[in-house]
A and B are shown apart, each in its own frame.
Chain A
Amino acid sequence: MAGLIQFTNESVSPGAETIRIAELPVSATTPVNDRGASVAPSLERVYRHRLPVRISHWLNVPVLIILIMSGFQIFNAHPALYWGDRSDRDWPLLSMLPVQTDSGEIKGITTILGHQFETTGVLGYSNGMVRGFPAWATVPSGKWLAMGRQWHLFFAWLFVINGLIFTAYALASRHATRDLIPTGKDWRGIGTSLKDHLLLRHPSGDEAKRYHVLQKLAYAMILFLVAPVIVLTGLAMSPTIDTAFPWLLTIFGGRQAARTLHFVACLSFVGFILIHVAQVILTGFFNNIRSMVTGWFTVRHEGVSYEA
């Protein structure tokens, strides 16, 4: 069988890019793995990511990092969020502000829905400077709104163009419907999948060839909900676009609400990226990276086959 590599200790060091035995999911349809199985374990190479997806993915890495960091720079020019159309400064939903204590010390105070948190050194006040997000989290690092906007609006175009090409490809190639949208069977298995995830048990064998339900949900939500929302709320902050498409203000609840949702969508991206990178590392870093670079993903079969 083409693409099937016999498992030997020479070709792959134990516990390297293959999925570890301990991570095998145990479910009713999966026979309990017998370590002494007479059928030899094998590696199968599968073509997992097609070229347009890989290009789109890697473009997004610098683009998203820059958008997030330049976005924090822009946020810092007025580090507070509101609902509706107006900024009523006494009623922010969130703010990151310096507060001087009786002893003269300056503290960074982050207020979320009326609850105050001391965030000195990170939010509100850092390195002796009054700023929402600290210098290490912004582009450029110094306080410079005009330059932050230049970065942000340039890379926003790259993000939108990349996103439109990806979406067209994902729909035309049926990547979206085939690989990303959860099926009925996926939904029914969501409990098991959730439990396996919390126990850090990851699919292997044939199960690892496709996305499982939580992965599909995460990707589909980011691609088809959070990404459109972040673009549309960005556009809703444009006074010109608001005259062309007044419904943007209506659906998001006003310009300041759009700004707040833009921020929430940004934090969703940050959360997604952190979990995504953690999962990439946990489920075989080298194999995952290679599959996103070359397209080829290695699946380890433990010497027993089973019907998925």
Chain B
Amino acid sequence: MKPERMERRRFLKGTLGAASLVALSGCDNLTQSSWFPSLLSKAEKFTEAAQRAVTPKDALAKEYREADISAIFPANGNTDPGTDAYAEHLAQNFSEWTLEVVGLVKTPRSWSLAALKELPFRTQITRHDCVEGWSALGKWSGVPIGDLMHQVEPSPNARYAVFHCADVDDEGIAYYESMALADCYHPQTILAYELNGVPLDVPHGAPLRLRCERQLGYKQAKYVMRIELVESLADIGGGKGGYWEDQGYEWYAGI
């Protein structure tokens, strides 16, 4: 065999071997390394910075017509908190349910569900984009969180709003979520108590759930009991800012 042909054969073999190695086992090895996922996660900050830079602060998510509402709005994640305390609230039709706003605020406050329903409300037909890929359209009514913030007056060092929820998963881990305090003032960021004109049912987060329409579905915390304003997320839950975030999903869920 001529040297050149041998060289070519070696080259071909090497290329194909390297390609399949990289494609099949290489990626999985990288995934299991300690440094690579942390490198990958750098993209999240980049994405957040880029998206915030190009998105006007109060730009509204598209609002749809009644005719566009999904016939079935799927309920994902925990579909029943399953605790005795929650069962009692449900039996009382949430008459004793209170929402507390605490933490880095001038005047901590709490509202009963009935008191919240007395406040000015917003109704919006919006699209819910699940991280899995599907979308559903629903009509949400609730209190703009910005209105509540004006009443409690956040401290200057408050950076995040943490939403503590009534649901715990099969392993007993309590659900929580968080968002940038600035996003709480977006006009479409509401604590919803109605879906499609009727009070929220249990699978969809009764009696109160978060709607922040510019982020993915897993940020839309259900069964909200307490909003805590904090400076850092490090000491809460797994430290990543939410139930799903602690399992590897991005905290910034704009895409």
- Which A residues form the contact surface with B (CB < 8 A)? 13, 16, 62, 65-66, 69, 74-75, 77-78, 80, 82, 85-89, 136, 139-141, 144-147, 149-151, 153-154, 156-157, 234-235, 237-246, 249, 255-256, 259, 285-286, 289
* CA distance in complex: A212, B225 (Å): 66
* CA distance in complex: A240, B186 (Å): 12
* CA distance in complex: A151, B22 (Å): 14
Q: Select the stretch in B66-74, B81-89, B116-124 that faces chain A.
A: B66-74
Q: Is the CB of B43 within 8 A of A239?
A: no
* CA distance in complex: A229, B110 (Å): 49
Q: Is the CB of B72 within 8 A of A242?
A: no
Q: Can you offer 12 A-B residue contacts whose CB atoms are under 8 A?
A: A16-B5, A77-B131, A86-B137, A140-B28, A146-B249, A150-B248, A153-B44, A154-B43, A157-B47, A242-B61, A255-B127, A285-B8
* CA distance in complex: A87, B127 (Å): 10
Note all chain B residues with C-beta closer than 8 A to A80: 134
Q: Is the CB of A85 within 8 A of B135?
A: yes
Note all chain B residues with C-beta closer than 8 A to A238: 51, 254-255
Note all chain A residues with C-beta closer than 8 A to B72: 89
Q: Is the CB of B56 within 8 A of A154?
A: no
B115 interface contact, C-beta 8 A:
no
Q: Is the CB of B61 within 8 A of A150?
A: no
B129 interface contact, C-beta 8 A:
yes
User: Interface residues of B, CB < 8 Å — how many?
Assistant: 56
| In-complex Cβ contact of A244 among B37, B54, B247 (8 A) | B54
Within 8 A of A (CB), among B104-153: 127, 129-137
Note all chain A residues with C-beta closer than 8 A to B4: 13, 16
Note all chain B residues with C-beta closer than 8 A to A256: 134-135
* CA distance in complex: A89, B72 (Å): 9
B75 interface contact, C-beta 8 A:
no
* CA distance in complex: A53, B47 (Å): 26
Given contacts A86-B70, A141-B28, contact A243 B61 (CB under 8 A): yes
Q: 0/1 per residue, B29-58, Cβ < 8 Å to A?
A: 001000001011111101100010011100
| In-complex Cβ contact of B247 among A136, A146, A259 (8 A) | A146
Q: 0/1 per residue, B225-238, Cβ < 8 Å to A?
A: 00000000000000
CB-based nearest B residue for A240: B254
Note all chain A residues with C-beta closer than 8 A to B22: 62, 65
State how many angstroms separate the Cβ of A281 from the closest Cβ of chain B. Answer: 9
Q: Is the CB of B254 within 8 A of A86?
A: no
Q: Is the CB of A150 within 8 A of B41?
A: yes
State how many angstroms separate the Cβ of B19 from the closest Cβ of chain A. Answer: 8
- Which B residues form the contact surface with A (CB < 8 A)? 2, 4-5, 8, 11-12, 22-24, 27-28, 31, 37, 39-44, 46-47, 51, 54-56, 59-62, 64, 68, 70-72, 74, 127, 129-137, 213-216, 244, 247-250, 254-255
Most buried by A among B8, B22, B59, B134: B134
* CA distance in complex: A243, B56 (Å): 8
Given contacts A85-B135, A239-B214, contact A151 B5 (CB under 8 A): no
* CA distance in complex: A87, B135 (Å): 5
* CA distance in complex: A285, B255 (Å): 40
Q: Is the CB of A13 within 8 A of B5?
A: yes
Note all chain A residues with C-beta closer than 8 A to B133: 74-75, 77-78, 87, 259
Q: Is the CB of A153 within 8 A of B131?
A: no
* CA distance in complex: A141, B24 (Å): 8
* CA distance in complex: A241, B214 (Å): 8
Note all chain B residues with C-beta closer than 8 A to A62: 22
Given contacts A75-B133, A243-B62, 17 further A-B contacts (CB under 8 A): A65-B22, A69-B23, A77-B132, A80-B134, A85-B68, A85-B127, A85-B135, A87-B133, A146-B244, A153-B43, A241-B51, A241-B255, A242-B61, A244-B54, A249-B62, A255-B127, A259-B133
CB-based nearest B residue for A148: B31
Q: Is the CB of B55 within 8 A of A243?
A: yes
* CA distance in complex: A242, B60 (Å): 9
Q: Is the CB of A157 within 8 A of B70?
A: no
* CA distance in complex: A22, B254 (Å): 56
Note all chain A residues with C-beta closer than 8 A to B56: 243-244
CB-based nearest A residue for B137: A86
Note all chain B residues with C-beta closer than 8 A to A85: 64, 68, 127, 135, 137
State how many angstroms separate the Cβ of B51 from the closest Cβ of chain A. Answer: 5
Most buried by A among B2, B46, B127: B127
Note all chain A residues with C-beta closer than 8 A to B37: 147, 150
5 tightest Cβ-Cβ pairs between the two chains A and B: A240-B254, A146-B248, A238-B255, A87-B134, A78-B133
State how many angstroms separate the Cβ of A152 from the closest Cβ of chain B. Answer: 9
Given contacts A65-B23, A139-B27, A153-B43, contact A243 B59 (CB under 8 A): yes
Note all chain B residues with C-beta closer than 8 A to A259: 133
State how many angstroms separate the Cβ of A290 from the closest Cβ of chain B. Answer: 10
State how many angstroms separate the Cβ of B80 from the closest Cβ of chain A. Answer: 22
CB-based nearest B residue for A259: B133
Q: Is the CB of A239 within 8 A of B254?
A: yes
Q: Is the CB of B55 within 8 A of A147?
A: no
* CA distance in complex: A246, B132 (Å): 22
